[in-house]
Each structure stands twice: as C-alpha cells, then as structure tokens.
Structure 1
Amino acid sequence: MSPDDYCQQKAARSGSSFYYSFLFLPKERRRAITALYAFCREVDDTVDDIADSSIARTKLHWWRQEIAAMLAGQPTHPVTRALQPHLTIYDLKGEHLQAIIDGMEMDLDQTRYLDYAGLQKYCWHVASAVGILSASIFGVTQPATLAYAEKLGLAFQLTNIIRDVGEDSRKGRIYLPVNEMQQFNVTAADILNARHSENFEKLMRFQAERAERTYDEAMALLPKADHRAQRPGLMMAAIYRTLLAEIVSDGFHVLTQRISLTPIRKLWLAWKTYVRG
C-alpha cells in the first residue's frame, strides 16, 4: 500500500464531514489535504484510543520526532511520507503541525477549562492550526485568508464540543467552561450523569449562539480574492452549521446521543456550496 493509499483509507474510514469537501479538490491539493487529515487522525487517535496516558504521551513524543524527521527530508511513517512532498509547495509550517500535537497533549493534562479564554487556547491548537494548514493547501493569496481559517477552525471546534458533550463526558472530559456552567447552574455531576434540564438547555443555547457568531466573524474575514479557492472550507462550514442547527432544533439532547447528518446530506450540502462558487 502506498503512503497516499494509506492516507486515503484513513480519511475515508473516518466518515468525517471534512472528507466530503476533499472530493471537489484538484488531484494534488486533494492528496495534500488527505495526508494532513490522516496526520490529524493519527495523533487524535493516539489520545482517544490509548487508555494509558504515559503510553499516549510516548507516542505523541514519537510523532514530534517524526515531524522533525519529515522536515529534514527523512520521514518514515506512511502519513509523513505522503505529506512531505507538499510542505514546500503549500508553505506548510512545522510549527503548526507541532501545535496540533501540543493540543492533543493538552487532553492528557487537562479535562476542564475554567473560562472561555482557556478553552480558546485549546481550540487554537486542535482546530485553528489545522484550519491555517488546510487553507494554505486550498490556496491563499491574501493574509486575511489565514485569519479567516483560524477563526473558522475555532467555529468548527465549538460545534464539535456542543455535539460531543455526552461522548466527551464518558471519557471524563468536559470542555464547557466552568464559569459558564456556574452561570447557568449546571454542575459537572449533571454532565457526567447525563442530566438534561432546562438550565442545561440554556447553557447549550449560549454555546450555540457563540459558535454561530464565530462562523459569522470567520466569513466576514474571507477576502473575495480567495473565496473560490477556499470553497472546501466553505463546504465544511455549510455542513457544520447545518449540524449545529439540527442540534438546536433537537433541543440539545447531546448528553445521551450523538446527533449527525447522513452521508448523502453532507455530500448534497458540499455540492450546493461548490456549484454556488
């Protein structure tokens, strides 16, 4: 199996909304973004799938060394072998790849965030850094496009946090800021024991409204000159905003179920965004 085939299988198996936007890219950009996505999946799975934090930390350290080896032109893993040819072409920075690993390591060190500022820092590492790298692959001619990508990554992660409240709590993690939970009289025990309440709905509505504002702020930053090149990110935004609307209309029943869109609906939303230009 070639490195590209390995990354393609990794991306396709995930069923992620991101995968559907890749389908509309030219071949070389599609190869690059698929390799980047496979890297993100590898390091994310290291934290999610390994119960022993010391082993997970050791594997993340190995990935740090592998990124350094890739930057030196000596990758050994199929993902880094697939990604390495695209580094110079798309100006992909090693510091952003290492920042993603930093974010994964934060999950080993921290399961609560006291306030939104702390949560934003985490989101920057696990999502905004990915957004910057992705936008670079899609095509950037204006500096503001990277600011757009950074903000859009934050919006995606805020949506993920809302969708995955119950799933994350079963892993012992709560990404809702502690001071905001206190503001709405929702306790950690309420989340961990899946107690849906009117207060919980108010808390989640507050989170959803912030996510929506963040999408709007991101879109306002995207320069017209790069709009067409950045269509894959806009496709993802269409899918994620539709998902967020579904969660809202369902009354935020996210403690005991994972609300998602069907593959055909994701593909339809991606296609509609693509043809709109």
Structure 2
Amino acid sequence: MSPDEYCQQKAAQSGSSFYYSFLFLPPERRRAITALYAFCREVDDTVDECSDESLARIKLAWWRTEIAAMYAGNPTHPVTKAMQPHLAAYDLKQEHMQAIIDGMEMDLNQTRYLDYAGLSKYCWHVASVVGILSASIFGVTRPETLAYAEKLGLAFQLTNIIRDVGEDARKGRIYLPVNELQQFNVTAADLLNARHTENFEKLMAFQAERAQRTYDEALALLPKEDRRAQRPGLIMSAIYRTVLEEVQRDGYHVLTQRISLTPIRKLWLAWKTWVRG
C-alpha cells in the first residue's frame, strides 16, 4: 500500500464530513488534504484510543519528532511520507503542524475549561490551525482568507462540542466552560448523569447561538477572490451548520444520542455547495 493509499483509506474509514468536502478537488490538492486529514486522525486516535496516558504522551512525542523529520526531508510514517511533497507547494508551516499535537496534549492535561477564553485556546489548537492549513491547500491569494479559515475552524469545533456533549461526558470530558454551566445552573453531575433539564436546554441554546454567530463572522471574512478555491471549506460549513440546526430542532437531546447526517445527505450538501460556487 502506498502512502497516498494509506491516507485515502484512513479518510474513507472515518466517515467524517471532511471526506465529502474534498471529493471534488483536483488530484494534487486532494492528495495533500487527505494526507493532512489522515495526520489529524492519527494524532487524535493516539489520545482517544490509548487508555494508558503515559503511552499516549510517548506516542505524541514520537509524532513531534516525526513532524520535524518530515520537514527535514526524512519522513518514516506513511502519513508524513504522503504529506512531505506538498509542504513547500502549499506553504504548510511546521509550527502549525506541531500546534495540532499541542491541542491533543491538552486533552491529556485537562478535562474542564473555566471560561470561553480557555476553551477558545483549545479550539485554536485542534481546529483553527487545521482550518489555516486546509485553506492553504485549497488556495489562498488574500490574507483575509486565512482569518476566515481560522474562525471557521472555531465554528466547527464549537459545533462538535455541542453535538458530542453526552459522548464526551461519558469519557470524563466536559468542554462547556465552567462559568457558563454556573450561569445556567447546570452541574457537571447533570451532564455526567445525562439529566436533560430546562436549564440544560437554555445552556445549549446559548452555545448554539454563539456557534451560529461564529459561522456568520467567518463567512463575512472570506474575500470573493478566494471563494471558489475555498469551496471545500464552504461544503464543510454547509454540513456542520446542518448538523447544528438538526441539534437545535431536536431540542438539544445530545446527552444520550449523537446526531449525524446520512452519507447521501452529506453528498447532496457537498454537491449543491460546489456547483453554487
């Protein structure tokens, strides 16, 4: 199996919305974004699927070394071998790749965030940086496009947090800021025990409104010159906002279920967004 085939398999197996967003890209850009996505999956799985925290830290340290080796021209892993040819072509910066690993390490260091400022920092590492790297691959001619991608990544992560409240709580993680839980009189025990209350609904409506506002702010930053090139990000936005709207329509019943879209619906949204340009 070639490095590109390894990455393609990793992306296809995930069933992620990311996969649908780059189906329509030209081959070279598609290979680059698939390799980036496979890297994100590898380091994310290191934390999520490794029950031994010390082993997870050792693996993340290995990835740090491997990223440095990739930029030195000596990659050894299929993912870094697949990504290495694209680094210069799309100006993919090592500090951004390392920042993603920093974000994964944050999941090992803490399971609560006191306020939105702290949560935003986490989101920057695990999502906004990915947005910047992805936008660079799609094609950037204006600096505002990177600001758009950075904010769009934040919107995606806020959507993930809303959708996965129950699933994350079962893993012992609560990403909703502590001071906002207090503001709406919702306790960590409510989340851990899947207690859906009127206060919880109000808390989640507050979170959803902020996420929707963040999408609007991101899209307002995208210059028209780069809109066509950035269609994969717009596809992701269409899919993620639809998920968020489904969560809102369902009354925020996210403590006991994970709302998702069918593959055919994701493909329809992807195609519709692509042809709209």
* TM-score when normalising by structure 2: 1.00
Confirm whether residue 269 of structure 1 aligns to residue 272 of structure 2. Answer: no
SS at match of 1:35: helix
Q: Which amino acid aligns with 2:256?
A: T
- 1:94 is matched with 94
- 1:203 is matched with 203
CA-to-aligned-CA distance 1:158-209 (integer Å, 9 cap, x gap): 0000000001001100000000000000000000000000000000000000
CA distance in 2, matches of 1:202, 1:124: 26
Q: Which amino acid aligns with 1:150?
A: E
CA distance in 2, matches of 1:182, 1:271: 42
Q: Which amino acid aligns with 1:227?
A: R
Confirm whether residue 52 of structure 1 aligns to residue 52 of structure 2. Answer: yes
1:216-235 equivalence runs, <5 A: 216-235=216-235
1:134-213 equivalence runs, <5 A: 134-213=134-213
Q: CA deviation at 1:123?
A: 0.0
CA distance in 2, matches of 1:174, 1:126: 16
CA distance in 2, matches of 1:229, 1:167: 34
1:27-42 equivalence runs, <5 A: 27-42=27-42
SS at match of 2:260: coil
* TM-score when normalising by structure 1: 1.00
**Runs of 5+ consecutive residues of structure 2 not aligned to the other structure:** none
CA distance in 1, matches of 2:21, 2:185: 39
How many correspondences in the alignment? 277
Q: CA deviation at 1:31?
A: 0.1
Confirm whether residue 115 of structure 1 aligns to residue 112 of structure 2. Answer: no
Which stretches of structure 1, 4 residues or more, deviate above 3 A after TM superposition?
none
CA distance in 2, matches of 1:58, 1:194: 33
CA distance in 2, matches of 1:24, 1:147: 24
CA distance in 1, matches of 2:177, 2:110: 12
Q: CA deviation at 1:33?
A: 0.1
- 2:132 is matched with 132
Q: Which amino acid aligns with 2:57?
A: R
CA distance in 2, matches of 1:40, 1:266: 21
Q: CA deviation at 1:214?
A: 0.1
- 1:43 is matched with 43
Q: Which amino acid aligns with 2:184?
A: F
Q: Which amino acid aligns with 1:131?
A: G
CA distance in 2, matches of 1:102, 1:238: 28
CA-to-aligned-CA distance 1:24-70 (integer Å, 9 cap, x gap): 10000000000000000000000000011100000000000000000
Q: Which amino acid aligns with 2:9?
A: Q
Q: Which amino acid aligns with 1:267?
A: L
- 1:19 is matched with 19
Identity %: 85
SS at match of 2:140: coil
CA distance in 2, matches of 1:32, 1:71: 15
Q: CA deviation at 1:154?
A: 0.1
CA distance in 2, matches of 1:57, 1:113: 21
Q: CA RMSD in A?
A: 0.3
SS at match of 1:194: coil
SS at match of 2:229: coil
CA distance in 2, matches of 1:206, 1:163: 14
Q: Which amino acid aligns with 2:221?
A: L
